């Protein structure tokens, strides 16, 4: 629709006697132009609804097939920020509708004020969304293959592939070429000194090593300059310090370490441990794995047993299914430590299982796949079970939740930004006095667009932020 006024008589002498100079010559009157514009905006909004409907269908399908990822991932979202944005948009819908009424009554000052408040609300929405997005970028809570969260949905630090999270650093060194951890993952069966207790009760010496990292011939080389021991254990909100074995929390502000399980980083499987005593031994002890199957593990175990016996006295454990964990250091700050800092750890192997003299005494049962174990632990309450779930690593396919989240909220944000430009254009025209009781269509059409944008957010807020 052209903004240029035209005279009551055009160049061909066709006079219509329109009341406003903004009524185009090809319309019979102001009502004809308004009705035509109204039909056009409704057709546009109908295709916008269809556009968003595809994303809503994707949301429904993934939530039906993977409800666990929605139950876990929604805890990453800030309900307060979502609620603030909901209130902002609802109020902006009021001011947009009020602007239409002001234009109909030729209340220029009120029209300018309502348009300005609507623009301010839209800007406020985008500012809140900016803080939401930057926090997720900061914590690597992103979409697709970029999903590598630094914290669980409950807020506890996690080991990650990139190992460049603010305030934390782990032993894991990720190999981007093979897509697996090249070092820093420990089989739980090789370090867990008490298999009957929840989590991994490890006895490790942990150091924060500072140095320089260089790339030579396509390979990374790290030259150590200094190292600092990390002696404090991290406090666990569910299980307590050291998985519940200690009685006190660490001093506030001190760096601490803990074992951390994340199957997306440290792969589980079948493992066996070994030790070697003798002058020819290349190493005193170690762990082999993970292996995909028990058969593959046993084949490697037999080969390793023969190699070690040729070097000295060897002890090789049976193959067992186990998770793998990394050692995570929490520095309690927001500093990102890249290649100049690495975490190294050496953990003691669990004591060998020895049959007690009393056949009725409680035995330490090694964890075996498919077998039950006895424990003297108290059962977790429903609240603690939920907290333990949210403190753990994300389930598989959680990245799809954030693919849908960023697609829906990002597309909605683009519509909000477009609305800002439209209302700025209307504000400029309002200051020039273009809108009258006969010509207020652009304000009305923009308000309709804004109501649809707000309505879509009213659906997005509960579907994404208020799942439980």
Q: What is the pLDDT of residues 313-324, one digit of tens each?
A: 888 888 888 888
* 402-420: pLDDT as tens digits: 999 999 999 999 999 999 9
Judge whether residue 5 has pLDDT over 90.
Answer: no
Rounded to whole angstroms, the Cα distance separating 206 from 156 reads 20
**Confidence category of residue 366, pLDDT binned at 50, 70, 90:** low
229's CB contacts (< 8 A; 6+ apart) are: 205, 206, 207
362 vs 303, higher pLDDT: 303
Mean pLDDT of the chain: 83
Instruction: Please compute the mean of the pLDDT values over residues 376-381 and round it to a whole number.
Output: 61
Angstrom distance (rounded) from CA 139 to CA 152: 10
DSSP 244: G
Cross-strand pairs, 227:
209
Query: Tens digits of per-residue pLDDT, 62-109?
Result: 999 999 999 999 999 999 999 999 999 999 999 999 999 999 999 999
Q: What is the mean pLDDT of residues 294-298?
A: 89
pLDDT digits (tens, 9 = 90+) for 335-364: 888 878 899 998 887 776 554 555 555 555
How far is it, in rounded angstroms, from Cα 51 to Cα 39?
A: 19
Task: Give the per-residue pLDDT at 277.
Answer: 83
Checking if the pLDDT of 241 tops 60, the result is no
- Give the chain's length: 468
Say how many CA atoms lie within 13 Å of 434 toward its Cβ: 18
For residue 86, give the 3-state DSSP assignment: helix
* Residue 374: predicted pLDDT: 53
| Annotated domain spans of the chain | 30-143+399-465, 156-268+323-393, 271-319
> CA-to-CA distance for 320 and 296, rounded, in angstroms?
12
For 30-143+399-465, CATH number? 1.20.120.80
What confidence score (pLDDT) does residue 289 get?
A: 81
CA distance 334 to 422: 40
Residue-level pLDDT at 460: 95
**What pLDDT is recorded for position 13?**
41
On the question of pLDDT at 253 being above 80, the answer is: no
pLDDT beyond 60 at 170: yes
Q: Report whether 141 contacts 153 (CB < 8 A).
A: no
pLDDT over threshold 70, residue 240? no
Confidence at residue 81, expressed as pLDDT on a 0 to 100 scale: 95
- Using DSSP's 3-state secondary structure scheme, residue 325 falls into strand
CA 354, CA 363: separation in Å to the nearest integer?
9
Max Cα-Cα span within the chain? 116
Rounded Cα distance, 244 and 150, in Å: 23
pLDDT of 22: 64
Element (H, E) at 211: strand 204-216
Q: Is the model's pLDDT at 15 over the cut of 50?
A: no
Place of tokens 């975490």: 343
Q: Is 136 helix (H, G, I), strand (E, B) or coil?
A: helix
Contacts for 35 with CB less than 8 Å, ≥ 6 apart: none
Q: pLDDT digit string (tens) for 157-167?
A: 899 999 989 99
pLDDT value at residue 57:
94
Write down the pLDDT at residue 188. Answer: 87
Instruction: Confirm if 445 and 37 have CB atoms less than 8 A apart.
Output: yes
Helix, strand, or coil (residue 156): coil
Q: Which residue has the higher pLDDT, 193 or 55?
A: 55
Q: For position 400, what pLDDT does the model report?
A: 93
């Amino acid at each position: 629709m052209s903004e240029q006024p035209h005279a009551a008589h055009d160049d061909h002498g066709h006079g219509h006697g329109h009341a406003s100079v903004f009524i185009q010559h090809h319309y019979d009157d102001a009502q004809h132009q308004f009705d035509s514009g109204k039909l056009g905006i409704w057709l546009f909004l109908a295709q916008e609804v269809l556009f968003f409907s595809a994303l809503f269908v994707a949301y429904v399908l993934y939530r039906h097939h993977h409800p666990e990822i929605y139950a876990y991932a929604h805890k990453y979202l800030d309900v307060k920020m979502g609620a603030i944005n909901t209130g902002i948009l609802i109020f902006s819908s009021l001011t947009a509708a009020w602007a239409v009424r002001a234009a109909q009554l030729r209340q220029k000052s009120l029209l300018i004020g309502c348009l300005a408040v609507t623009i301010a609300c839209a800007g406020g929405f985008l500012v809140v969304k900016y803080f939401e997005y930057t926090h997720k970028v900061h914590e690597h809570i992103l979409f697709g293959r970029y999903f590598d969260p630094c914290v669980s949905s409950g807020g506890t630090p996690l080991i990650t592939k990139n190992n460049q999270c603010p305030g934390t650093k782990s032993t894991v060194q990720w190999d981007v070429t093979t897509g697996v951890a090249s070092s820093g993952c420990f089989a739980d069966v090789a370090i867990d000194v008490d298999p009957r207790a929840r989590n991994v009760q490890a006895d490790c010496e942990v150091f924060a090593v500072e140095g320089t990292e260089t790339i030579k011939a396509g390979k990374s080389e790290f030259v150590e300059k200094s190292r600092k021991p990390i002696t404090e254990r991290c406090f666990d909100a569910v299980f307590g310090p050291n998985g519940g074995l200690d009685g006190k929390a660490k001093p506030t502000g001190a760096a601490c370490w803990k074992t951390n399980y994340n199957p997306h980083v440290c792969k589980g499987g079948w493992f066996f441990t070994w030790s070697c005593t003798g002058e020819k031994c290349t190493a005193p002890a170690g762990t082999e794995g993970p292996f995909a199957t028990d058969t593959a593990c046993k084949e490697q175990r037999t080969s390793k047993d023969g190699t070690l016996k040729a070097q000295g006295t060897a002890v090789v454990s049976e193959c067992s299914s186990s998770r793998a964990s990394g050692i995570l250091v929490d520095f309690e700050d927001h500093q990102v430590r890249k290649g100049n800092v690495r975490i190294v750890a050496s953990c003691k192997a669990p004591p060998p299982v020895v049959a007690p003299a009393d056949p009725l005494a409680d035995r330490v049962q090694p964890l075996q796949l498919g077998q039950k174990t006895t424990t003297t632990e108290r059962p977790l309450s429903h609240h603690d079970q939920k907290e333990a779930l949210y403190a753990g690593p994300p389930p598989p396919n959680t990245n799809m939740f954030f693919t849908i989240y960023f697609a829906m909220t990002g597309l909605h944000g683009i519509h909000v930004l477009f609305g800002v430009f439209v209302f700025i254009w209307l504000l400029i025209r309002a200051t020039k006095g273009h809108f009258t009781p006969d010509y207020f269509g652009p304000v009305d059409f923009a308000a309709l667009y804004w109501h649809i944008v707000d309505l879509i957010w009213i659906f997005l807020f509960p579907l994404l932020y208020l799942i439980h």
